[in-house]
Amino acid sequence: MAFSIKWSGFLGILRKVVDGKELKSIIALKGNILIRYLGLISTYSIFINLSALLGTDILAANGLLLQIALLSQFTVQGIGMTLQTLTGNFKVKGNIEQISPLLVVSIINSLIIASTFAFIPFLFPETIFKLLTDHPEISEKAIQYSLWLLPLLCLTATAFMLEGYFIGLKECATLRNGVLTAFFIGFLPLAVMSYYWQNNHLLWSGLTAYMGTLIITLFLQLPKVHKNHAFQFQESE
């Protein structure tokens, strides 16, 4: 099968790729998203390492709870990716008025999923944790800290939706600042205190505070972001 290449179109695309301004914008965008992932990964890595320092039983129990938390997060992330794509599409098409309702619907649906994952081990603790481990002492430890799943999963779901929203709008610098604030102000102080006092509840509160701080930081920026994008759209008209 033969095909022909329209070199004029190819050269036009090539110019855009090597354009300094566009390339710089793409690098900045990807760099800020990378910082977001590094912040999240660092938070969970420190959480796991500190769990190990609190004892083998705590590490194992936290590992069981994290399996449930990560399963919820992977499920919710699908909604976040859809939100990110649709937000970008609405922005390009100028349908600014549809972006806010999209965020609200996404948060509601993600909260339903997250709360379901949190309530199942809370309502049926012995059944769920027996499926995950054969050691009753580990199950008892996990049940003791399972109450943290509800605030953590619900806050994580909301945070992931806001992250997808800001990425869709290409407001990744705002997202980067939010992640750094959440890590250094929300998570790290409580993580240090959890090690100092050897308290696993403080460690879980640090992980929860990370998500809560990120939500607060991003919510505070929503009015400004909406105003900027609405103004840009009016100017383009």
Residue-wise DSSP of 172-230: HHHHHHHHHHIIIIIIHHHHHHHHHHT-HHHHHHHHHHHHHHHHHHHHHHHHHHHHHHH
Please give the structure tokens belonging to residue 173. 């610098």
Write down the pLDDT at residue 11. Answer: 62
Domain ranges across the chain:
27-233
> Residue 68: pLDDT above 70?
yes
- Per-residue pLDDT, averaged over 68-94, amounts to 91
Instruction: Of 99-103, 153-157, 212-216, give the lowest mean pLDDT range.
Output: 99-103
- For residues 182 and 42, give the distance between their C-alpha atoms in angstroms, rounded to a whole number: 12
Write down the pLDDT at residue 1. Answer: 47
Please give the structure tokens belonging to residue 137. 């002492």
- For residues 231 and 90, give the distance between their C-alpha atoms in angstroms, rounded to a whole number: 15
